[in-house]
Copies of this chain bind each other. A is one copy, B any other.
Amino acid sequence: MAAKQHRMTRQRRIILETVKGLKTHPTADEVFGLVRKKLPRISLGTVYRNLELLTEQGIIQKLDTAGQQKRFDGDISPHSHVKCVKCGKIDDLYFELPKPSAAWAGQTRFKILEYKVELLGICPDCQKKMEQN
């Protein structure tokens, strides 16, 4: 039952600093690209392993907003996200969540753990692209 001992390796520290230092919501590949500037020999596998580990530890979060690539967020304070339906980019929204209603839970035999508001939209860049047509 003893929690596994984790070491703060150079790779792990830099991955963490990188994700925490971003205002964006990078994919594993984007993190890889940035971290490689400081550690040219790091491997993509290491990035994946560490993003996963840091997520398990609750130090960063993995966004569950589908798409083909997963995105990560260094900001673990409670907030919601809007996702661009065109390019998948994500923006933050901070607001009080509407109260969950007991009526919701009554409809399902699932045990509800948490809920959040998911928004879909179009980011400024993609809006521009659309106007140009």
Contact A108 B91 (CB under 8 A): yes
- Taking CB atoms and an 8 Å cut-off, the chain A residues in 84-115 that contact chain B are 84-85, 91-95, 98, 101, 103-104, 107-115
Chain B contacts for A91, CB-based, 8 A: 108-110
- Taking CB atoms and an 8 Å cut-off, the chain A residues in 41-100 that contact chain B are 63-67, 70, 82, 84-85, 91-95, 98
**Identical subunits present:** 2
Of A92, A111, A116, which is in contact with the most chain B CB atoms at under 10 Å from its CB? A111
Contact of A119 among B92, B104, B127 (CB under 8 A): B104
| Measured CA separation A116–B94 after assembly (Å) | 16
Contact count band on A: 35 or more
Chain B contacts for A92, CB-based, 8 A: 107-108
Min CB gap A102→B, angstroms? 11
| Measured CA separation A99–B122 after assembly (Å) | 20
Instruction: Fill in one digit per residue for A10-42: 1 if any B CB lies within 8 Å of its CB, else 0.
Output: 000000000000000000000000000000000
